[in-house]
């Protein structure tokens, strides 16, 4: 008599496409802190050859006006050259690279997971906006 085997849990495999996914946190000036550390959106791009060039931007709720500088920048188009320039510019808008979260089902889901972390941990730790 054989012993029944229990199903073995599958080990999560990295999606091959995830290696080409890139995420950035878009930030604007926070008046109480005096630096561009206020996250307003997560930008996600698939840089794989032959990938759909469409970008995904997930906006932080309730920061419509504060995010306008980034809306203007993104309306001009997004590409590696612009992102590289944005990463080196100083000023009221900043961009920071973010890691692709484990378990992301697709690119948009990856951006939403980063946004969830911002909403749960980063934004609550910022002081209230004053003078805004």
- pLDDT for residue 5: 53
- pLDDT for residue 86: 93
User: Would you say 94 and 37 are in contact if contact means Cβ atoms under 8 Å apart?
Assistant: yes
Model pLDDT for residues 80-120, shown as the tens digit of each residue: 889 999 999 988 999 999 999 999 999 999 999 999 999 99
Model pLDDT for residues 6-31, shown as the tens digit of each residue: 444 444 445 556 788 999 999 999 99
- pLDDT for residue 11: 43
- 59 — phi, psi (to 5°)? -90, 145
- pLDDT for residue 78: 87
């Amino acid at each position: 008599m054989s012993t029944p085997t229990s199903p073995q849990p599958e080990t999560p495999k990295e999606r091959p496409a995830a290696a080409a996914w890139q995420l950035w946190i878009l930030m604007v000036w926070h008046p109480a802190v005096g630096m561009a550390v206020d996250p307003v959106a997560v930008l996600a791009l698939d840089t794989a050859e032959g990938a759909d060039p469409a970008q995904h931007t997930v906006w932080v709720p309730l920061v419509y006006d504060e995010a306008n500088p980034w809306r203007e920048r993104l309306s001009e188009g997004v590409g590696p050259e612009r992102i590289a320039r944005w990463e080196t510019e100083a000023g009221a808008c900043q961009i920071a690279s973010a890691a692709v979260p484990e378990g992301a089902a697709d690119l948009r889901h990856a951006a939403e997971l980063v946004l969830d972390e911002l909403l749960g941990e980063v934004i609550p730790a910022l002081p209230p906006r004053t003078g805004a």
